[in-house]
C-alpha cells in the first residue's frame, strides 16, 4: 500500500516535472524564415517579436548558415546604431541556440556587412512569468483628440516608419476620435488612402486630401484607416500612419446600413474638408473589436527610445 502511494507520488512528481519542462519554449526566430536579412521589410523581426512572449528560461533558435549570417548579442545603444564593434556575445556558427537566462531586454544584430541596417536585428523583453492574462480594460467611450506624432508632428520621420508605428501602437481609437495632423503648409499634406496605397506608397489617388495645417480628421467609421503624404518619397521614407478604429462610442450610436466590416480597407469617399466620412457609415458596435495594438517585443521596449531620438 505504501509502495502504491509512493508510486502515485512519483507519478504526480514526474507529471509536474514534465509539465514544467514543457513550459520552456524554443522560439524559432523569424519562424520558417529563420535569421536572415529581411529584404524590403525592415520591421520583420519587430513584428515577429511582438507576437511572442519571452519567459525566463526560454530558448531562441537562430537558424542560419555559418558564414552567410551570424548573430551577436549587443547593448541597446549598439542595437540602435548597428555597432558590432564590441558585442556582449558573438555566435558565428549556425544555427545558434541561446537561452534567455535573465529577465529584461535582449538585443541581437547580424554583424556581417550591412545586415543590421537592413533589418537583421531583434529586440525583446524577457519576463519572469507569463504574467496575468491581459484583463480587458473597460472600453473608452468618450472621444479624444490625438495629435499625430505628438510633438514630432506630421513629417518625414527621422527614423522612418517606426515613428508612427510607435506612436499608434498602444493607442485605442474609437469612432468619434479626432486626429490632428500638424505639418508645414506647402511642403506637406495629409492623404487618406486605401490599404493598398498605404502599402505600396502609390498616392496617385486618395480618399480624402488635406493641405491646410492643422488637418483635423474625425474618425467616423470603425476599421482600418490609412494616412500618408502625397509629396514625393514622403510615404516611402516612413510618413505613413495606420490605425484601427473600434466601433462603439456612446457619443455616436452606430447605424447599421452598408457597413464595412472592421478590418477591411476603408471604402472610397470623395468628401474633403473638416471631418470627412473616411470609411462610410458607422458599422454595428463590435464590442469585441480589438484596438490596433502591437504588444510585447520590440516596440514595447522601443517607444521611449524612439521618443528620445525624436525630441
Q: Which residue has the cell 473597460?
A: 138
Cα–Cα distance for residue pair 102/293, rounded to 1 Å: 26
Which residue stretch of 8-16, 115-123, 197-205, 272-280 sits at the interface with ligand NAG (rule: CB under 6 A)? 197-205
CB 190 within 8 Å of CB 203: no
Cell triple for 157: 520621420
Q: 181: how many CB neighbours lie within 10 A of its CB?
A: 23
287 binds ligand NAG (CB under 6 A): no
178 binds ligand NAG (CB under 6 A): yes
In the list 204, 232, 258, 308, the residue contacting ligand NAG (rule: CB under 6 A) is: 204
CB 115 within 8 Å of CB 37: yes
Q: How far is CA 14 from CA 21, 50, 55, 72, 182, in A?
A: 10, 34, 22, 37, 62
Q: Which is nearer to ligand NAG, 7 or 54 (CB)?
A: 54
Cα–Cα distance for residue pair 44/122, rounded to 1 Å: 9
What's the full length of the chain, in residues? 311
272 binds ligand NAG (CB under 6 A): no
Smallest distance, ligand NAG to C-beta of residue 197, A: 7
Smallest distance, ligand NAG to C-beta of residue 212, A: 4
Q: Which is nearer to ligand NAG, 281 or 291 (CB)?
A: 291
Distance of CA 22 to the CA centre of its chain: 29
Q: Which is nearer to ligand NAG, 78 or 277 (CB)?
A: 78
Smallest distance, ligand NAG to C-beta of residue 195, A: 8
Which residue stretch of 143-151, 152-160, 229-237, 266-274 sits at the interface with ligand NAG (rule: CB under 6 A)? 143-151
Q: CA 215, 218, 220, 221 torsion: positive or negative?
A: positive
230 binds ligand NAG (CB under 6 A): no
Residues that bind ligand NAG (CB under 6 A): 26, 28, 34, 61, 63, 81, 83, 85-86, 95, 97, 101-102, 105, 125, 127, 143-145, 170, 178, 185, 202, 204-205, 212-213, 224, 242, 244, 262-263, 289-290, 292, 300-301, 303
Amino acid at each position: 500500500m505504501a509502495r502504491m502511494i509512493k508510486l502515485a507520488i512519483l507519478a504526480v512528481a514526474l507529471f509536474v516535472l514534465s509539465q514544467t519542462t514543457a513550459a520552456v519554449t524554443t522560439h524559432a526566430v523569424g519562424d520558417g524564415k529563420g535569421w536572415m536579412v529581411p529584404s524590403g521589410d525592415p520591421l520583420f523581426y519587430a513584428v515577429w517579436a511582438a507576437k511572442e512572449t519571452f519567459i525566463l528560461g526560454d530558448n531562441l533558435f537562430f537558424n542560419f548558415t555559418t558564414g552567410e549570417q551570424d548573430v551577436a548579442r549587443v547593448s541597446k545603444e549598439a542595437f540602435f546604431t548597428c555597432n558590432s564593434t564590441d558585442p556582449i556575445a558573438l555566435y558565428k556558427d549556425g544555427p545558434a541556440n541561446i537561452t534567455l537566462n535573465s529577465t529584461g531586454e535582449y538585443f541581437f544584430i547580424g554583424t556581417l556587412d550591412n545586415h543590421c541596417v537592413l533589418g537583421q536585428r531583434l529586440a525583446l523583453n524577457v519576463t519572469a512569468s507569463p504574467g496575468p492574462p491581459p484583463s480587458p480594460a473597460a472600453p473608452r467611450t468618450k472621444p479624444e483628440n490625438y495629435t499625430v506624432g505628438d510633438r514630432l508632428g506630421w513629417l518625414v520621420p527621422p527614423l522612418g516608419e517606426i515613428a508612427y508605428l510607435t506612436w499608434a501602437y498602444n493607442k485605442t481609437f474609437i469612432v468619434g476620435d479626432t486626429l490632428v495632423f500638424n505639418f508645414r503648409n506647402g511642403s506637406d499634406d495629409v492623404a487618406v488612402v486605401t490599404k493598398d496605397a498605404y502599402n505600396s506608397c502609390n498616392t496617385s489617388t486618395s480618399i480624402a486630401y488635406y493641405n491646410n495645417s492643422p488637418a483635423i480628421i474625425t474618425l467616423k467609421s470603425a476599421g482600418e484607416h490609412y494616412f500618408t503624404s502625397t509629396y514625393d518619397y514622403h510615404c516611402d521614407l516612413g510618413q505613413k500612419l495606420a490605425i484601427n478604429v473600434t466601433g462603439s462610442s456612446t457619443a455616436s450610436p452606430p447605424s447599421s446600413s452598408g457597413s464595412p466590416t472592421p478590418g477591411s480597407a476603408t471604402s472610397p469617399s470623395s468628401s474633403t474638408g473638416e471631418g470627412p466620412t473616411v470609411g462610410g457609415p458607422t458599422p454595428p458596435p463590435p464590442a469585441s473589436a480589438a484596438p490596433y495594438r502591437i504588444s510585447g517585443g520590440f516596440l514595447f521596449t522601443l517607444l521611449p527610445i524612439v521618443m528620445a531620438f525624436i525630441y
